[in-house]
C-alpha cells in the first residue's frame, strides 16, 4: 500500500446509460411532483441529480478503497515512521469502508522496536477508532510474522 496510490475509475462505467436513465426518470418524477405543489422545478431537478451523482461517486470510491486494503505487508526494510504511516492509512480506510473482518499478515523483520510498537499501535487504535477492534497474533513457526485482525463493530 503506497501513500499516493493512483486509483483509476472508468467514469463511463460508473455513470453508464442505465444509471443516467434512472436519474433522468427520478428527476422527471420529482419535477412533476414539485410542479403540482408550486415549488421550484429547476431546483428540485438539480437536487435529485446532485444527490445521485454524490451517492454514485461515494459508492465507487469506497469500493475502490476497500479493494486497496492489503492481505499482507512487508515491513522488513521499512523504518518505524513508514510502518506507522501505512498502519494508520489502513485504519483510516477501514474506518470508512464497510466490512466485517479483515486479516492482514505483517512481516516485521528483525526489528524488536517495530514489534513493540505494533502492540502499542494496536492498543491506541482500539481507543482512537471506536468502530474498529484490533487484535494481533504472532504466527507460530513463522519468523516475525504477525496476523492483525481488524473487526468492524458498527
Domain extents for the chain?
11-65, 69-152
For domain 69-152, give the fold: Translation Initiation Factor IF3 (3.30.110)
| pLDDT tens over the chain, length 154 residues | 545 567 788 899 999 999 999 999 999 999 998 887 777 899 999 999 999 999 999 999 999 999 999 999 999 999 999 999 999 999 999 999 999 999 999 999 888 899 999 999 999 999 999 999 999 999 987 788 999 999 999 7
Q: Which residues are CB-neighbours of 8 under 8 A, at least 6 positions away?
A: none
Ramachandran angles phi, psi of 119, nearest 5°:
-65, -40
Amino acid at each position: 500500500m503506497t501513500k499516493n496510490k493512483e486509483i483509476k475509475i472508468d467514469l463511463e462505467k460508473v455513470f453508464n446509460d442505465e444509471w443516467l436513465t434512472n436519474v433522468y426518470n427520478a428527476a422527471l418524477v420529482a419535477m412533476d411532483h414539485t410542479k403540482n405543489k408550486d415549488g421550484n422545478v429547476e431546483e428540485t431537478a438539480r437536487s435529485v441529480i446532485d444527490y445521485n451523482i454524490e451517492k454514485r461517486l461515494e459508492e465507487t470510491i469506497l469500493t475502490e478503497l476497500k479493494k486497496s486494503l492489503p492481505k499482507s505487508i512487508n515491513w522488513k526494510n521499512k523504518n518505524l515512521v513508514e510502518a506507522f504511516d501505512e498502519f494508520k492509512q489502513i485504519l483510516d480506510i477501514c474506518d470508512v469502508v464497510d466490512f466485517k473482518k479483515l486479516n492482514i499478515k505483517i512481516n516485521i523483520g528483525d526489528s524488536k522496536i517495530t514489534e513493540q510498537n505494533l502492540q502499542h499501535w494496536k492498543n491506541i487504535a482500539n481507543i482512537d477508532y471506536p468502530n474498529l477492534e484490533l487484535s494481533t497474533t504472532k504466527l507460530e513457526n513463522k519468523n516475525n510474522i504477525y496476523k492483525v485482525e481488524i473487526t468492524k463493530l458498527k
